[in-house]
Every structure is written in C-alpha cells, then in structure tokens.
Amino acid sequence: MLINKKLLFIISLLFTLNILAQDAISYKIFKGNGKKTSYKKLVKAASKANIVFFGEEHDNPIAHWLELELTQDLYKKNGGKIILGAEMLETDNQQAYNDYLTGKTDYKQLKKDARLWPNFKTDYLPLLNFAKDKKLKFVATNIPRRYASKVFKGGFEVLDSLAPKEKKWIAPLPIKYDSTLTKYVAMTKMEHVKYMPKNMQKNMPKAQAVKDATMAYNILKNYEPGKIFIHYNGSYHSNDYQGIVWYIKQEKPEMKILTISVETQEQLKKLDEKNKNKADFIIVVNKNFPRSY
C-alpha cells in the first residue's frame, strides 16, 4: 500500500509539472494572416518549397533551436536532399567552411580561417556540424562586410573600382536597386540614422541591398532542382517578401519560396497587427524569454 501511495504521489507531481509547463508557453506559430498553426504544418509547407527563408532574431535561442529542428526534419522529409546557406557566412570564407565540412580542418582552425560571428559556436556551429555529419553543402552567401562598408560610405559606384578577383565575391554589377521598397525606405527613417552624414543616410539601404542581392545571387547559383535550399538570415532580409526574396523573384519568379519570421510579443494569444503578413509563418516568442547575448 505504501508503494502505491508513493506511485500516486509521483504521478500527481508529474501531472502538475506538465500543467505548469503548458502554462509557461515560450512560443507559438501563426500563419501570416494571424491564424494559429502548428510546427507540423510549417514543416509540411516548407517541404513543398524550393527555397525556405528562416528569418531569425540573432539573439533569440528559440529561433536557433527551431532552425536546427526544421533543418533536421526537412532532411528526413526530403530524403536528405537539402542545401544550407546563411547570411552569417561570407563568400570569401567559403573555402574555410568547405575545409571544415570535409574534415580537412577542425573548429580551432576554422576560427582562424573565417570571420565568425561572436555567437557562432552556440548558434550556428550546430547547423554546420549537421551539414558536416550528413555531407551537405553549406553555402556562404553574404558579401564580405568590407565591401558593404564601402557601399555605406560611398554608394554602389565604389564597387566599380574593385579588382576582378574582388568582384567575384559580390553579385554581378551593376546592382539592381529599388529605393521605394518599404524595408529600404524604413531604414532611412531609423532614429540613429538621423544623426549620420547625408550621404550615409542615403547609402545605408544601398549597403543592405548589396547584401540582399549577393545572398540572392549565391542562393540561385547553388540551387539544385529537387532539393530544398534552407537559408538562415536576419528577418529584416526576408520580411514582407522583400530583401533577398525580392531579388530572387527578379531573376526566378517561378521559384516556390516559403518565408519564416521570428518576432517577439508581450502576449502569445494572437498575432499582433504589426506582425501580420510579414512572412508565410511567424514564430512568436514570449518577450520574457532570455536572450542569448
């Protein structure tokens, strides 16, 4: 009888903890129109796309966890036919990543050979290691930051003076640019931009655009029919179907694209109006959830 009482106590305790865990919800998933949906449905929809853009908040651990989960699930669902790519990896470091992926170098050497983000080890190395384990291609899609900085200071025209060997790290020139896209217009109105010199205010969205154009170019360059290209980037690069998505559509309008955006809200009962239609799927994270840095 004593054993039965202990067993009942344990069962009761586990049940209570489960209820508490359900109340302390960390995130919820919505469709772009605000309708609640599930991770299972997100995976199903993503499996039908040619390119999946996972728009993250760089310091959001929920986003990084779900990036790896989605990558693993799409790998299984599409028979291993996936390609990975990321904003955080710059084109001129591609060989360093290839050497790591093929086992020629270790992580210690990778840190010396590539410009890694401060949170690379915790947030992006798991993705790189998954690609290494499964022998997948992982594409460094982003422009080397020094060239984006040049555009920020001097506009697109500074790229014309680059040597041919430098231009190979960037999308083909001239860079197509639509200054009326709302995401680029919004950048010029950010509070901190007001205090910049006029030329830099004008060039800030151009620096963003050269990143978007280069990432789109490298995604299409490495895309293979029958495979799903999963791209990890800050949500601003793909929200509202602009940024990288806009450039993809300029070249290949037939591409089936699915976008995901991670957003933070005070409440998780419904999608805030400001977050509606930012992407096909919106992962809303509790504002109180700890950040990774």
- Predicted confidence at residue 13, as pLDDT, reads 45
CB atoms within 10 A of CB 145: 13
- Grouping H, G, I as helix, E, B as strand and the rest as coil, residue 262 is strand
The per-residue pLDDT for 4 is: 56
CB 192 within 8 A of CB 200: no
Mean pLDDT, rounded, of the chain: 93
* Dihedral sign of CA atoms 187, 62, 247, 49 in order: negative
- C-alpha 104/C-alpha 106 separation (Å) is 7
Least confident piece of the model among 7-16, 186-195, 265-274: 7-16
Please give the DSSP secondary-structure letter assigned to residue 121: H
pLDDT of residue 17: 41
Q: Is the predicted pLDDT of residue 21 greater than 80, yes or no? A: no
Sheet holding 138-142, edge to edge: 36-37, 27-31, 281-286, 257-265, 51-56, 228-234, 82-90, 138-142
Q: How many CA atoms lie within 13 A of 87 on its CB side?
A: 22
SS3 category, 172: coil
Contacts with 245 (C-beta within 8 Å, 6 or more apart), sequence order: 53, 238, 257, 259
pLDDT tops 80 at residue 2:
no
The tens digit of pLDDT for each residue in 126-185 reads 999 999 999 999 999 999 999 999 999 999 999 999 999 999 999 999 999 999 999 999
Band of pLDDT at residue 24, cut at 50, 70 and 90: low
- Greater confidence (187 vs 11) lies with 187
> How much is the pTM?
0.91
Strand partners, 139: 85
Which pLDDT score, from 0 to 100, does residue 120 have?
A: 97
In this structure, what is the dihedral angle of CA atoms 148, 149, 152, 158, given to the nearest 10 degrees? -80
Task: Classify 28-286 by CATH class.
Answer: alpha beta
pLDDT value of position 60: 96
